[in-house]
Amino acid sequence: MMAELRVQEHQLLAAVDQLGGKATVEQLTQSCGLPDAAIMRNALTLQEKNLLAIHASVQNIIELNVEGKQYAQSSLPERKLITAVIELGGKANLQDATQKAQLPAEFTQIALGWTMRKRWAKLDSATNTISAEGIAAEGCDETLLKFLCNHPQPVLDDLSKELQAAADQLKKRKLLTIEPKTKRTIQLTTEGKKALAEGAIAKPETTQLTPELIITGKWRDVRLQKYNIQAPVAKTYGGKKHPYLQFLDEVREKLVQLGFQEMTGTAVEISFFNFDALYVPQDHPAREPSDIYYIKDPQCGELPDKKTVNNVKQTHENGNQTGSTGWGYNYNIEAAQRLILRGHGTCLSARTLQAHNYTVPSRHFSIARVYRPEITDRTHLSEFNQVEGIIIDRNLTLKDLLGVLGKFAKEIAGADKIRFKPDYFPFTEPSVELSAYKEGIGWIEFGGSGIFRPEVTQPLGVKEPVIAWGLGVDRLFMMRAGLDDIRQIFSQDLAWLRNKQVT
């Protein structure tokens, strides 16, 4: 039975035959005049009909970058330098040689280093004199550069071992790239040869049923293209919210359901609320430039009302009426005005208490982006998110705080086990650190918590106990998502983003 093909299918089949029964996609693109996408689309259809076979192989392709192309068209810096030395009589002052070679200052050491490495010359460091040695024969790296001028993007494996070694050297010099690329070859099968021999027919097909075809009745005479609705199609990925942003929404929703009100604020904060109002002394190491980001311009912000500032000042200096002796130093108003990127979300709690934007009892939370000059590793970032919370009520105890933290770790992070250990913070007493464990992830420290000290609450006009916590919500998500590196959260790995299930 004579095979019936579409016009482009017949065109492709004939082109492969004319090219000897086997051809690359690039060759067929030139032969047929069709784009590579059309070539592959028709080739896949013909492969289903067993008329063509598609073979794929990965090849390492060499490609010069901008700097490499410049050297390929002229010469390497070391060649320019040794040529200048030879023209100056075989021995010259290094500065004179580089000027004659017209080498920019930043390339002098590179050229000198490679000239000596290739044993083309020696340098007398005492007199800064460079002397040519022997014959500066053309190396494989220069041979390869000349070859690449006339043969762009060759296959690495097609080169000799010497040129392959030269390619590796030039790659280390950042003059070219070696990237794996898939090469597809299309081959005529026995059935394909038979179809061509029997005179396969190319019948034109109509892909769109237009109003004109319907009105004139011409639709009866045309051949409508058939569609295989069971044919596999490319996988599509619908738009969705980033998994981490979805998790933050879930945390926010749960806290709101538990009666918490959200606290909001700006990323730029004054030191007064980030430190002073939380009873952190002005000489504390956490206020050093190595531990906090200071704003360069403007440097200072506006303080709250004078009464609050004076209460905090007196508390720092002598304890005021808190029963404490304070820190015993002269409080600096200018240091309190200093602008920074907030180092924790607790500054929002301090602002809420100072503004008396609460009732008794009440619960408040924030999901805040905070900033610290941390060394980045699997559990630390220089900017990260904290979920901050406070509860204001009469007769609150440490037991209430531990209950809230346990609920967080198990319900939100999906922890298997939790543990608490004593900690120290200038603004809470007692203070507790929360860690949680999950199978396959291990123990992760989530953050600190405690009961605000009187030195924090009384200067702000708060008479009731306040329990507070600040947890690394990024780490909560790590445990929830089964990640072992915090940097994966902000990754651009499309495979992870696409496959992460939406809950």
How much is the pTM?
Answer: 0.57
pLDDT in the model for residue 203: 67
Q: What percent of the chain has pLDDT over 70?
A: 97
Residue 237 has pLDDT above 90, yes or no: no
User: The domain 4-58+179-202: what is its CATH number?
Assistant: 1.10.10.10
Separation CA 22–CA 341 (nearest Å) = 64
pLDDT in the model for residue 313: 95
pLDDT in the model for residue 503: 61
CATH architecture of 245-498: 2-Layer Sandwich (3.30)
Contact 476, 388 (CB under 8 A): no
pLDDT in the model for residue 49: 86
Parts of the chain belonging to CATH 1.10.10.10? 4-58+179-202
Separation CA 132–CA 258 (nearest Å) = 82
Tokens standing for residue 250: 């879930």
Mutual orientation of helices 25-32 and 7-18 as an angle, nearest 10°? 110
Residue 498 has pLDDT above 90, yes or no: no
pLDDT in the model for residue 395: 85
Parts of the chain belonging to CATH 3.30.930.10? 245-498
Helix (H) or strand (E) holding 385: strand 383-392
Separation CA 370–CA 385 (nearest Å) = 6
pLDDT in tens, 274-300: 999 999 999 999 999 989 999 999 999
Q: How many helices (H) and strands (E) does the chain have?
A: 20, 17
User: The domain 66-174: what is its CATH number?
Assistant: 1.10.10
Mutual orientation of helices 66-73 and 140-150 as an angle, nearest 10°? 100
Tokens standing for residue 117: 């490495």
Average pLDDT score, the chain: 88
pLDDT in the model for residue 466: 93
The dihedral built from the CA positions of residue 22, 24, 25 and 26, taken in this order, carries a sign that is negative
The residue among 48 and 236 whose pLDDT is bigger is 48
Separation CA 229–CA 445 (nearest Å) = 53
pLDDT in tens, 436-466: 888 877 888 888 889 999 999 999 999 999 9
pLDDT in the model for residue 1: 43
